[in-house]
Structure 1
Amino acid sequence: MESIDRRLVHALQIDGRAPFAKIAGVLGISEHTAARRYQRLKERGIRVRGALNRFRLGHHAWTLRLRCTPDAGPALAQALARRDDTFWVHLMSGGTEISCLQQVKNPDELLLDRLPRRLVDVSAHNVLRGFASPGTWRGLACLEPDEVAALRPEFEPEPPTELTPLDEALLGTLEVDGRAGYADLAATTRTSESTARRRVEHLRRTGVLELRLDADPSRFGFATQARLWMRVEPRSLAAVGVTLATHSEVYFAAATTGPANLVASVTCRSGGDLYRYLTERIGSLDGVRETETAPVLRTLKRVALSEGEAFPCHA
């Protein structure tokens, strides 16, 4: 990928709805070039999508780990990806394992009782605290600190409120295209452009609307991905989680309930790099008692229709 495209991708990761004129000014290119380059990125499967962060509405985030027979894996993963309350659906370990995130209003809404019988094992872990999310993945970072600061959106935070039918309609459109213009949003939801703008800005300020870059890391040269389950001494859990968030290999890390109390998703350029990451970086962390690794075969869902920050993440 060309340098200008990498810089554009990083800019969109910082603020997925930043006007092309603003992005162009920071990157030192023309507005036309920024828009044209983004269109080319979309044609390659790299785009901005919106996602509903149900945690901000009081919902609970869970990470599910499902082991199944090889013939059941692909179909089950596809079924999970079609649900509107699941995120980051991974088919792993040669197709015999699935991992995903689910947000539910009440724990009894977990889909465990609706799963097929061809499962070997099922475990559900409540996400207690997030340390890293796809929106903060450092593997894309290439802009200078002053450029990042110029692009970072500044909102006065507002408390979330119950979604209105208009909000739900706007979110539905933004899930498909996170950069949809306000005129298009107004036409799609049958409201005025000013109202569409006001409601979208409100959803962003409350954190209910997350804008995330939807892209396969392999597009950027990170061909090897894996899910890690770690058993960490409780006294070291916070420190290990904070440290993982600084690793460029990590695009998701969270403390959870269960015997493996820290889960992470990592992406590396090769299997050799993954080996070095596990042995040198994870292996050197104090308090990590045990690490289990499952290679990701395929990701069936990330952001929305194809994942947002689906868990409570704190800086």
Structure 2
Amino acid sequence: MEELTELDRRIVAALQLDGRCSWAEVARLAGTTESTAARRGGKLLEDGTVRVVGVADPLVCGLGQPVLVQLNCAPGAVRSVVDVLAARSDTRFLALSTGNWDIITEIIVPSRQVLVQALVDEVGGLAGVHRTSSALVTRNFAMRHDWSRDLLDAAPTAVPSSADALADPVEPCVLDDVDRNLLAALADDGRRQFRDLAKGLTVGETGVRRRIERLVASRALVFSTLVSPAALGFQVELFASLKVDLAQLDEVARLLAERTEVRYVSATAGAADLVCEVILARPADIYSFTTGVLGGLPGVRSVEIGLELENHKRAYRPFEI
């Protein structure tokens, strides 16, 4: 994929701060005119280079428990396994990886019975799958949607990082049919206007605005601007699994969550105590990150690194219109 121009990157970085912000605000953050921001940003959205989507949090929405699954496959079977996993509606994340595992995926399961069926009968039973490992995600510390904010000359301090909202545990949010319809519509296009979202619903434009504000405030809904890191000049995506002294796990997780290059941090009950996803500009940065950042964390006993070769899914659609 070709890298975007410097101005296009700044426009995308502004959208990653707030996927629903006006073109005037995008222009201010990117250092251009409103008409230029609307024209160039609109083209990136139209051709699919960039997507703004509303993401429902499964834990807050009471939809189920995230489970991290890693798979080793027979030579030649990886592509077919990826295709099956990508087609699953409960798959939230899916990537090819180097290291000890060929595929890393995250699925959302509503119950233990469904988990058994998914792991044993469905995923574990796929042709070509030789070995699997699974871990329950017990706490999410960061799900960063603004990892490109450093591309802006001065990222506004008034706009909180998308990792900040995960500082404390969340309470489940009770959804009704209107909420579910809004979440389904925003999963297709996170920039849809309130008046368009209100069509066919029992609430008007003002009611839709209030609903979305409530969903965002309760952390049931997050807006994410999806773009390939390579298009913005970031050449490396890696997945790190850490074994940590349990007394220091919370401190280590929070230190990682504070870093802009760390897109995702979760505690897991499995082979690793913490897992994190990291975006870096150059392959040379892997060494400095592993030694300078991971190596400086307290209580870390071991680290396993895998490079993400291809990302096949980073969206979750629990509701359909």
For residues 19-38 of structure 1, the aligned pairs below 5 Å read 19-25=22-28, 27=30, 29-38=32-41
State how 1:155-174 maps to structure 2 within 5 Å.
161-174=173-186
Structure 2 CA distance for partners of 1:19 and 1:302, relative to 1, 3 Å? same
Aligned equivalents of 1:105 and 1:60: distance in 2?
6
Any residues of structure 2 matched to 1:123-202 within 5 Å, and which?
123-137=133-147, 140=150, 142=152, 144=154, 147-149=156-158, 161-187=173-199, 192-202=204-214
Where in structure 1 are there 5+ consecutive unaligned residues? 308-315
> Cα offset for 1:205?
2.5
Question: Are residues 277 and 150 of structure 1, via their aligned partners in 2, closer, same or farther at CA, if it must alter by over 3 Å?
Answer: closer
The question of whether the paired residues in 1 share the 8 Å contact of 2:261 and 2:279 is answered with yes
Higher mean C-alpha deviation, range 32-41 or range 170-179: 32-41
Percentage of pairs with the same residue: 31
Deviation at 1:7, TM superposition (A): 3.2
Aligned to 1:302: 314
Tell me which amino acid in the other structure corresponds to 1:204. V
Asked whether the equivalents of residues 214 and 303 of structure 1 are also in contact (C-alpha less than 8 Å), the reply is: no
In structure 2, the CA distance between the partners of 1:274 and 1:139, relative to structure 1 (3 Å rule), is farther
Whether the 8 Å CA contact 1:64–1:100 is kept in 2: the answer is yes
Distance 1:79 1:148, change over 3 A: farther
SS at 1:57's partner residue?
A: coil
2:262: which partner in 1? 250
Q: CA separation of 1:29/1:176 partners in 2, compared to 1, >3 Å: closer, same or farther?
A: same
Aligned 8 A contact 2:146 2:161 in 1: no
TM-score normalised per structure 2: 0.82
* Other-structure match for 1:120: 130
Which of 70, 84, 103 is the equivalent residue of 1:98? 103
Structure 2: gaps of 5 or more residues:
none
**SS of alignment partner, residue 125 of structure 1:** strand
Q: Which residue is equivalent to 1:313?
A: none
Residue 232 of structure 2 corresponds to residue 232 of structure 1: no
The number of residues matched between the two structures is 302
Q: Say if 1:130 and 1:253, in contact at 8 Å, map to a contact too.
A: yes
Partner residue, 2:92: 87
Pick closer, same or farther for the CA change 1:221–1:160 going to 2, 3 Å.
same
Instruction: Give the alignment partner of residue 297 of structure 2, picking from 285, 300, 313.
Output: 285
Find the aligned partners of 1:296 and 1:182 in 2 and give their Cα distance. Answer: 37
SS in 2 for 1:67: strand
**CA RMSD between the two structures:** 3.0
Amino acid at match of 1:279: T
1:248-302 Cα distance to aligned partner (Å, 9 max, x none): 4321111111231111112223332213322332223232111111221100011
The answer to whether the 8 Å contact 2:70/2:101 transfers is: no
Partner of 1:310: none
